[in-house]
Amino acid sequence: MSDENKDLGDDLNDMLGDAKKGAKKAADKASEKAEEFSKEAKKLGHEAKEKASEFADEAKETAKEFTEGAKEAFGQNSGDNKKLLAGILGILFGSLGVHKFILGYNKEGGILLGVTLIGYILACVGIGIFIVWITAVIGLIEGIIYLTKSDEDFYNTYQVGKKPWF
């Protein structure tokens, strides 16, 4: 039996040696795969940083375009919306001279506002109604004129040329 035990011991030692070799090969392969994965992760991380940078640049450009569009929409860069705003306010509140104040004609806006207030005071007498009606018609006519002019004509006439009445 001792020969059998010796053979079994040798077989076990051979198997243990084979297991060690297999484990070493598996560990080497795992190490290689981990190194490949690390390189790929670094590459992907670099690509992700580039994509994030590109996205940030695009977002900044879009925000800049949006800001410029908003400035134009609210009349900070052009007279187009002053035209629309002054025209509508001239039609609705022309007797108060609001459209004149929008265009920067403070003296003329004050005149319309003052005449309208005097008209309201004199409304008790009867003549004030006609005064208020006349200032309202002036505002209505100016509002319609503002809206029917081309953008270029409006800008040249009322913002560059500073024509205060009609």
Q: Hey, how many other C-beta atoms are within 10 angstroms of the C-beta on 104?
A: 13
Among residues 27, 42, 77, the one where a domain terminates is 77
Domain range for 112 is 79-160
Report the pLDDT value the prediction gives residue 55, as an integer from 0 to 100: 74
List pLDDT tens digits, range 97-149: 998 998 889 999 999 999 999 998 988 888 888 988 999 999 999 999 999 98
The backbone region for 20, taken as left when phi is positive above 0, alpha when psi lies in -120 to 50, beta otherwise, is alpha
Residue 107 lies in a domain: yes
Among residues 77, 109, 125, the one where a domain terminates is 77
Residues 68 and 98 reside in one and the same domain: no
Among residues 77, 95, 125, the one where a domain terminates is 77
List pLDDT tens digits, range 41-100: 788 777 878 877 787 788 778 777 777 766 655 554 455 568 888 999 999 988 899 989
CA distance 103 to 86: 7
pLDDT of residue 162 exceeding 90, the answer is no
CA distance 122 to 124: 5
Q: C-alpha distances in angstroms, 9 versus 22, 26, 29, 100?
A: 20, 25, 30, 110
Residues 30 and 53 reside in one and the same domain: yes
Residue 165 lies in a domain: no
Residues 52 and 106 reside in one and the same domain: no
The backbone region for 162, taken as left when phi is positive above 0, alpha when psi lies in -120 to 50, beta otherwise, is left
Report the pLDDT value the prediction gives residue 69, as an integer from 0 to 100: 67
Percentage helix, strand, coil for the chain under 3-state DSSP, each rounded to 5:
90, 0, 10
Residue 73 lies in a domain: yes
Within the chain, how many helices (H) and strands (E) appear? 6, 0
Residues 12 and 72 reside in one and the same domain: yes
